[in-house]
Structure formats: C-alpha cells, structure tokens
Amino acid sequence: MFQTHKEIQAAIGSGQTDLKSLVTTYLTNIESNRHLNAFLEVYGEEAMARAAELDGKTTGRGRLYGMVIAIKDNICYRGHKVSAGSRILEGFESIYSSTVVERLLAEDAIIIGRLNCDEFAMGSSNENSAYGPVLNARDNSRVPGGSSGGSAVAVQADMCLVSLGSDTGGSIRQPASFCGVVGFKPTYGRVSRWGLIAYASSFDQIGPLSHSVEDSALVMEIMAGADEYDSTASSKPVPSYSTEKFEKKARIAVLKNTVDHQGINTEVRSETERIIAKLKSEGHTIEEVNFDLTDYLIPVYYVLSTAEASSNLARFDGVHYGYRSPRATEMDSVYKLSRTEGFGREVKNRIMLGTFVLSAGYYDAYYSRAQKVRRMLSEQISEIFRSYDFILLPTAPSIAFKLGEKTSDPTEMYLADIYTVLANLVGVPAISLPLAKSAEGLPIGIQLMAEKHEDAKLFGFSKTLMQWSTLYP
Amino acid sequence: MKIDNALVDRLAELSRLEFDDSAKEQIKGDLQKIFDMMDKLNDLNVDGVEPLIYMSDEVNVLRADEVKGQVTREEALLNAPQHDSDFFKVPKVIKK
C-alpha cells in the first residue's frame, strides 16, 4: 500500500496505477475494515466517478492529483451529510462547503468519505460518538484516541492517504499518537474555520493526519491562508511547507514537570527520554526549563473551552435545523426536549459546566481567572521560544487504552489531554510524530511545538526526526 | 464548591436541558468531579494579570459593505425539522 503522495505520483507517472484503481483499492480497504467503524459514510460511487473524470485529465493537474482524502464528520461539504457525531444533527445536509474542502478539491483531491468522531469533537477516545466507538486498528480492544479517532484510524489502516481532523485540545495529535500516524495542529488562525462545526472557537483548528510529514505539509500548504469568510484566519503569506527543511542544530526545551509528571506511563516516559538522548547525541541542544503551570493546564482548558462550547451549542434549538423531539408541545419544550434527547452525556456535561463558569456570580472566579492564566501561559511559552526553537513533550501520557477503561470518571479522561491542551491554550503549532512504540508494539507519539507562525520550521525539523521512526522504517 | 440539586436545576434551566432523577444523579457526580479539578485554579495568584481574550493576531479585518454570502429560502429550510414553503414551523407561541 502506498504510504506517501510522492509514491503515488510516481506510480501514476509510470503508468503503474491510475486514479480509478487507486480509489478501488481504498474502497476495498474500507470495506474490509468496516468493523473499525472509522467511516460514517463512504462516498464510493462519487469518488469513482471523480477518479474516472480525473483519469481523463492529462494536463493542468492539481497538486493533490492522486490524493485520496477523508474528512472528519464536523467539516462541511456541500450536498453531503455532516453530523458532528451527534444525534442532534442526524440527517443534516451541508448547504455550503468549508474553505478547506473547496481548496482541496480545487487541487484535484478526491474525497472518499466522512469519519467518525466524538460528539461535537468532545472526547479523547472516540467513545462519545452517537454512532458507536471507533476501534484502534493495531489492537481492536483499544481506543484510537479522540476526538478525531476515525481520522487517525482511516490513515492507520490505509483507508485513505490523508485525513482531516480538528484539534481543540489535542483531538488530532492524541489519536495520531495512539494510532502511529503524523498529526498536525496549525498555529491558531493559520487555517480557516469556515465550515467547521464550532466547539470552542478560540481553540479550534483543522489539520491533517498522514503517514508522512511531507503529506501533512503539502495539505497544509493548500489549506492555509487568508479567507474572506473567517476574519480570524491569518493574512500572513503561506510558506512552502512541503519543501521546508531545518538542517541546523536545534535548540530544544523540555518543560519541567512534564516528562517526569506523576501521571505518565513508564514506557512513554522512557521512550521520550530515549528520543531526548538521541537528539543530544546528534548534537542538538536540549535543556530542561522551568515550568510550574502543568497542573493548571487541564483546569484552565476546561473552564475556557466549555464556556465557548455552551455558547456555540446554544444554536441547536430544534427549530432551524437538526433534531426536534416528537414529545415537544410548546416552544420551551421544543428547546429543552430536543436538546435533552439530541445531545449525549459528555456534551451536556460541558454545556452545563460552561453555563456555570459564565453565570452571574461565578464569572470572575472561574472564566475571567482562567483567561488570566491563559495570558500567563502565553507569556511563559513566548519567553521560552525567545531562547529555543522547539518544545518537546510526549503527545499523550499513555499508550492507547482499552475501550471502557476511562468512561466512568470524566476527569480521568480529561487527563489524556494534559500535554496537548497547551498548544491550543497559547495558539502555537504542534505536531505528533510516530517515533516510538511500547514493548507490545503499540505506537507512542512524540510532540514538538514551535512559536506561533513557525509552522514551516516545525515541518522542517519534523522531517529530520521522522528518519528515526521505528514504525515506518 | 458543592454541587446540589438547586444548582443543577438552575444550570439546566439556563442551558435549556432537562435531567430526570437518575440523569440528575449522574450529572451531579460528573460535575462534582470536574469542579473539584477546576478549583485548582484558585491556588494561583493572578493579581495584575490582564485576561487573554482574543487569540487571532489580525486587527480590524474589514470588507466592503456588499451583500453576499446569502443562502436561498430553499437552502435555509432544507434541514428544518418542520417547515412549510416559506417558514420554519413551531408550536403556537401566542395564545388567544
């Protein structure tokens, strides 16, 4: 099976394959992996028709010609269903396409289906989807991570070459780590959020998952950039991520109280230490720096993200679109019953929590205080980037855990995001690289972060590091 | 912070959600655990720190005042749970 766009392009160029046979292969893989529940919908006929059409295109081929992509079920694609993994949007059909989908299609990508995820992207194991959990292809008794669990498994099991996920607190990187693929969270504002179903708007970013850094970089190069439909999208020019290299010796910071945190799995810790030692032996500078806010990351993330979620999810009212309870008899019960029956447990938890932290009497003590801590975090991380190129962290404190292992206590599940929320809280780019594995052979991701708008530098150095991957020799 | 029925009821009303007795016990338990975790924030001294509110670096992104980005009536009604040819339909709001 092809692992990179470059291989595919070579095979197309030499006449070894064409797009119809490529799509057929992916559709066969999707069919034989149906039990993993990664796809909520497969656009089989449509993808075949587009492949046939593109096979006839001999000149002016787009840069993603031959790339088969699947998208997370919270990214809108005109004329196609999108449900954010929720009953409340069951049957909903997009009336416009997200900017990212438009840009991928314009470069001749083929979109093969939409991918399962935690409801409204809220979760770390994909067990919160209203359409059932996704299974990790490496070990079916384990979770793929979340919330972009379907996106990670689709790449892991070669059901598409690249997938799109969204990352609010780690939802691309943590499943990438659990499934042994590359997952990239861009600088906040680097990619337009137009057409992404909102969870927490000051955190959300769309990003790619793939086997290679080069493919994530290429897809980012095409998706990124100013957009008239998203005023928070950065107007800075987009560098050539796909050709970017970083061949100097890097200065890398390791935050105190992270690799040596009490909650970390011993194998994740020893593998991270192995990578650190390897970096040192290659001549990079790698130093431990003071950071005393680790234990505040999860609390501040949940205060702020739930506040934004409670506001964003107020739009689901049972009137304009989505589910309406058949038991509703008057206006108030249209709202209440539709929301109560349409949303799942974790989504309700977060709406209630967000409503609390924004309510009169508690706003200053929780919401405003958390925004202040966000400023402190932002300043501390900026200060670190004045002296260092990158920050290195594990992506997740554990390897992929068993289905049902963390579903009884929500706070235990939240700790799965302890190393990933930082990048979203301060808006910097971050990547999870499949550089290690446990004794059992389960993937372990290593995370690198760079300063805001240094996405190119991060891709450049990641390419160097991927040469050490034990999963993709 | 102790989560009691009165607080759950007030938040549910503000959130337009309902919890029956067993759902209420569950959410009380969940919220209690989450609040205990969030209370950690009170250990930090944040005096003199300005809240960080906007994450985008863009300032005053303006566009020409042109009508665009509209959807048609058919598109707007496409996903409505109940509608007629022109309007979203809801239960009667004004009583005689």
Is beta strand A182-185 parallel, antiparallel or unpaired with respect to A205-210?
antiparallel
Q: Which of A228, A375, A427 faces B51 most closely, judged by CB atoms?
A: A375
User: Counting Cβ atoms within 10 Å, is residue A29 exposed (0-12), middle (13-18) or buried (19+)?
Assistant: middle
pLDDT given for residue A336 in this prediction: 98
Q: Which of A232, A303, A310 faces B58 most closely, judged by CB atoms?
A: A232
| Inter-chain touch B51–A371, beta carbons under 8 Å | yes
| Inter-chain touch A368–B51, beta carbons under 8 Å | yes
Verify cis geometry, omega within 30 degrees of 0, for the bond prior to A192.
Answer: no
Structure tokens at A300: 């501040």
| Inter-chain touch B88–A320, beta carbons under 8 Å | yes
CATH code assigned at A165: 3.90.1300.10
Q: Are A263 and A418 in contact (CB under 8 A)?
A: yes
Residues of chain A positioned with their CB less than 8 A from the CB of B88: 319-320
Residue A289 in domain: no
Residue A372 in domain: no
Structure tokens at A142: 């384990």
Residue A402 in domain: no
| Inter-chain touch A189–B56, beta carbons under 8 Å | yes
Of A151, A163, A166, A171, the active-site residue reads: A171
Question: Average model confidence (pLDDT) for chain A?
Answer: 96
- Total domain count, chain A: 1
Structure tokens at A169: 């607190």
Stretches where chain B sits below pLDDT 70 are none
Residue A359 in domain: no
- The 10s digit of each residue's pLDDT in A53-95 is 999 999 999 999 999 999 999 999 999 999 999 999 999 999 9
Give the pLDDT band of residue A471 (cuts 50, 70, 90): low
Residue A381 in domain: no
Q: Which residues are A39's β-sheet partners?
A: A115
Contacts of A126 (CB under 8 A, 6+ apart): A116, A117, A118, A133, A134, A143, A144, A145, A146, A147, A149, A150, A175
The chain A residue lying nearest B37, using CA atoms, is: A299
Residue A265, SS3 per DSSP: coil
A69 vs A408, residue with greater confidence: A69
Contacts of A266 (CB under 8 A, 6+ apart): none
- The 10s digit of each residue's pLDDT in A287-345 is 999 999 999 999 999 999 999 999 999 999 999 999 999 999 999 999 999 999 999 99
Please indicate if any CB of chain B lies within 8 Å of the CB of A363.
no
Structure tokens at A8: 């595919």
Q: Are A398 and A438 in contact (CB under 8 A)?
A: no
Indicate the DSSP class of residue A137: S
**pLDDT higher than 70, residue A421:** yes
Structure tokens at A19: 């797009």
| Inter-chain touch B34–A349, beta carbons under 8 Å | yes
Residue A387 in domain: no
- In DSSP notation, A65-131 reads TT-EEEEETTB--TTSB--TT-GGGTT-B-SS--HHHHHHHHTT-EEEEEE--SGGG--SSSTT-TT
- In DSSP notation, A277-289 reads HHHHHTT-EEEEE
Catalytic residue list contains A72: yes
- The 10s digit of each residue's pLDDT in A275-289 is 999 999 999 999 999
Mean pLDDT, residues A181-205 taken together: 98
Catalytic residue list contains A129: no
Number of H helices, E strands in chain A: 15, 11
Q: Which of B52, B81, B90 faces A323 most closely, judged by CB atoms?
A: B81
Q: Which of B38, B51, B80 faces A320 most closely, judged by CB atoms?
A: B80
Residue A87 in domain: yes
Q: Are A181 and A434 in contact (CB under 8 A)?
A: yes
How far B77 CA lies from chain A's nearest CA (Å)?
7
Q: Could you give the ipTM of this predicted complex?
A: 0.95
Residue A169 in domain: yes
**Domain boundaries, position A44:** 5-246+428-468
pLDDT given for residue A407 in this prediction: 87
Q: Are B21 and A339 in contact (CB under 8 A)?
A: no
Catalytic residue list contains A125: no
Rounded Cα–Cα distance for residues A178 and A123 (Å):
14
Report the predicted TM-score, pTM, of the whole model to 2 decimal places: 0.97
pLDDT given for residue A473 in this prediction: 40
Of A97, A98, A147, A212, the active-site residue reads: A147
The chain B residue lying nearest A228, using CA atoms, is: B63
**pLDDT higher than 90, residue A472:** no
Helical packing angle, A99-106 and A213-223, nearest 10°: 110
Rounded Cα–Cα distance for residues A123 and A110 (Å):
28
Looking up tokens 């405003």, which residue turns up?
A368
Using CB atoms and an 8 Å cut-off, which of residues 40-79 of chain B contact chain A?
40-42, 44, 46, 49-58, 61, 63, 69, 71, 75-76, 78-79
| Inter-chain touch B50–A321, beta carbons under 8 Å | no
Nearest CA among A473, A442, A426 for reference residue A189? A426
Residues of chain B positioned with their CB less than 8 A from the CB of A376: 44, 46, 49
Q: Which of B15, B37, B56 faces A298 most closely, judged by CB atoms?
A: B37
Indicate the DSSP class of residue B49: P
